[in-house]
Amino acid sequence: MIKKMGNPDIKVTILGSGTCVPSLRRSSCSVFVETGTQKIILDAGPGTMRRLLETGNEIFDITHIIFSHFHPDHTGEFVPFIFANKYPNENRRKVPLTLIGGKGFKEFFNCLKNVYGEWIELSPGIVNILELDNKKACTLDFQQFRMDSIPVNHRPESVAIKITSLNGYSLVYSGDTGFSQNLITLALNTDLFICESALPDNLEVLGHLTPSLAGKIATQAKVSFLVLTHFYPECDQFDIAKQCRRTYNGSFVSAEDLMTFELPLDLS
């Protein structure tokens, strides 16, 4: 049981606990992080804006979008998000928007501009685009939080992402990955570990984790709380918690859309 204290240092909302598979229960991948006045979206799969509205936030409030990789279930809302920021015109957005992705992100965005042109152009004064190294860990220091990334085993541009508040509380989001020593390194001693668990143990595929592999990483990283997410429909037919328990004794939950967490955690 996690108690909610109000006025947290970091608030985390699972916007989408699903995958590419259309589901009324699970929107595609996205996690919403609020710390100070900063509002950060980690991945923006289809349906992200609608789920964001359900949290009471507007797209114009978002300060950062960080992509773990470019698969459509993690980026599908990118084009509609930028387009919606131009309605009725760019003046609606008062805060700058920082867009971050792995190696090739600028080219990815430019290719989309070749298709959509000015429909997804925002003025340079309002948008800032950053690209992460796909060979080594990176750190970006923003005014109200620190972001760390590390390459993981899924796509060449794939990274896991860590957000640390000014007071030192942190969450780690795995993105998509197979078993990864780098992910253990990034997640070491983190407060909240949001980890993909795409398929049940018996249906493991290359480049994705299972409940017991996610549990193994959480155990080795000594995380305070584990959240399993990115569930293909097959997961709903098995006892995911039991499979995770094979390798992990700590606190955890299987994500549902709009589930929230507050840091610091109160696990009493």
122-151 residues near Zn ion, rule: CB under 5 A: none
Cis peptide before 151 (omega within 30 of 0): no
Residue span binding Zn ion (CB under 5 A) among the ranges 50-58, 72-80, 244-252, 257-265: 72-80
Least Å distance, CB 69 to Zn ion, is 6
Q: Does 51 bind Zn ion (CB under 5 A)?
A: no
Least Å distance, CB 117 to Zn ion, is 27
Residue 171, CB half-sphere, CA atoms under 13 Å: how many?
Answer: 27
Q: Does 71 bind Zn ion (CB under 5 A)?
A: yes
Spatial separation of the C-alpha atoms in residues 44 and 61, rounded to whole Å: 15
Closest by CA position to 205, among listed 229, 187, 179: 179
Output the CA torsion sign for 12, 13, 17, 19: negative
Spatial separation of the C-alpha atoms in residues 173 and 159, rounded to whole Å: 9
**Which is closer to Zn ion, CB of 73 or CB of 131?**
73
Question: Contacting Zn ion (CB under 5 A), which of 176, 191, 257, 262?
Answer: 176
Question: Mapping DSSP to helix (H, G, I), strand (E, B) and coil, where does residue 261 land?
Answer: strand
**Which is closer to Zn ion, CB of 64 or CB of 71?**
71
Question: Contacting Zn ion (CB under 5 A), which of 9, 34, 73, 131?
Answer: 73
Least Å distance, CB 72 to Zn ion, is 9
Across-strand partners of 42? Answer: 31, 66
In contact, 231 and 26? CB cutoff 8 Å: yes
Least Å distance, CB 265 to Zn ion, is 26
Least Å distance, CB 2 to Zn ion, is 26
Amino acid identity, position 162: K
How many residues sit close enough to Zn ion to count as binding (CB under 5 A)?
3
Return residues touching Zn ion (CB under 5 A): 71, 73, 176
